[in-house]
Structure 1
Amino acid sequence: MLNRRSALCLLGAGAAIPGTAIAKTPREIAWEDLIPPGVPYSEIIGEGELDELNDTWNPIYDDNGLKLNENLNGAYIKMPGFIIPFEIGAQGVTEFMLVPYVGACIHTPPPPANQLVMVTAGTPWPGDQLWDPVWVTGVLRTELQSTNLGQTGYSIAAEDMTVYEW
């Protein structure tokens, strides 16, 4: 039987090391979750113009494309996407843009900022797996950043990455 002193010692020890007792479970999100509540997906595309010479459509995003879901700022999440590398070395990719579909920002105009995520990987992602869809897990931050491929609305310091399988 535990006496009062032993019980207090056990409670104190458990409070001192909560991370080992309870593992964090990420909230699984989808790309539409990055759009703020109340903003329809159809309203983030905006108008655009046809570049007849290059046979491309250049979207012109309105303010809705820059609106971020502040409810996700600081959330521990897991989300799928595709890699557009920025920093790649012998060990793999350490900095990249996570995009919702293959070819975003490369073969087509970039999606709006609230559909692009800048990722810094703690462990390099293998360079031979760049075309695989991935799960990225980490803390999501709302943060507008400009890159040479488009403006991103979010960033993640990736704690874990795995191949996305469906």
Structure 2
Amino acid sequence: MLNRRTTLMLMSAALAAPRTALAATPREIMWEDLIPPGVPYSEIIGEGELDEVNDLWNPIYDANGVKLNEELDGAYIKMPGFIIPFDVGAEGVTDFMLVPYVGACIHTPPPPANQLVMVNAEQPWPDDQLWDPVWVTGTMRTQLQSTNLGQIGYMLTADEMEIYEW
């Protein structure tokens, strides 16, 4: 049985422990993990809208395009992808869309919502590395939202990013 002094010392030590020592190991996922088990990849079923001024095409997908893997809501994950920046500042980019292949959403139809991730990074990613594939680690949320680049199914608060090498 612990006495009061020992209990207080243990509690103080736990509070003083570095954040990284308490951090969870991220679950490594790939793009197919964003689609719920048993659901096929979505198909384009209609032309949708063509924005000739901005050179964007927002096709109409079948119902599978907005089916999200709810097991990932709140999960601490690590996944690879490519950056489509929303705003590049002097320090780099902190708000961007993570996409499964280079150039997605630019001059091509965007992937379905369950293949797009809105990212807010704690640390800016350098603007001279925007075309490099990256690993993004952070907390995932399932949340459908519309942007001018397409409908997005996931949000990720990134606490770590690195170059993806295979």
TM bucket by the smaller chain? 0.7 to 0.9
Aligned to 1:27: 27
CA shift, 1:118, in A, is 0.4
Aligned to 2:114: 114
In 2, the alpha carbon distance for the partners of 1:84 and 1:58 equals 16
CA shift, 1:15, in A, is 5.3
CA shift, 1:124, in A, is 0.8
Aligned to 1:135: 135
CA shift, 1:9, in A, is 4.2
| Cα RMSD for the two superposed structures | 2.6
Q: Read off the aligned partner of 1:45 and give its amino acid letter.
A: E
Stretches of structure 1 lacking an aligned partner (at least 5 in a row): none
CA shift, 1:65, in A, is 0.3
Q: Taking structure 1 as reference, are residues 133 and 21 closer, same or farther at Cα in structure 2, changes over 3 Å only? A: closer
In 1, the alpha carbon distance for the partners of 2:119 and 2:67 equals 19
In 1, the alpha carbon distance for the partners of 2:138 and 2:2 equals 40
Highest Rg: 1 or 2? 1
Scaled by the length of structure 1, the TM-score of the pair is 0.84
In 2, the alpha carbon distance for the partners of 1:21 and 1:84 equals 32
Aligned to 2:152: 152
Aligned to 1:126: 126
Q: Where in structure 2 are the equivalents of 1:91-106 lying within 5 Å?
A: 91-106=91-106
- Cα deviation, 1:101-123, whole Å, max 9, x if unaligned, reads 01100021000000000011111
Among candidates 36, 43, 46, match of residue 45 of structure 1: 43
In 2, the alpha carbon distance for the partners of 1:8 and 1:20 equals 23
CA shift, 1:22, in A, is 3.0
In 1, the alpha carbon distance for the partners of 2:74 and 2:84 equals 23
Quick check: 1:45–1:59 contact (8 Å CA) kept in 2?
A: no
Scaled by the length of structure 2, the TM-score of the pair is 0.84
SS in structure 1 of the partner of residue 98 of structure 2:
strand
Q: Taking structure 1 as reference, are residues 38 and 126 closer, same or farther at Cα in structure 2, changes over 3 Å only? A: same
Aligned to 1:64: 64
In 1, the alpha carbon distance for the partners of 2:100 and 2:137 equals 15
Q: Read off the aligned partner of 1:144 and give its amino acid letter.
A: L
Q: Taking structure 1 as reference, are residues 15 and 46 closer, same or farther at Cα in structure 2, changes over 3 Å only? A: same
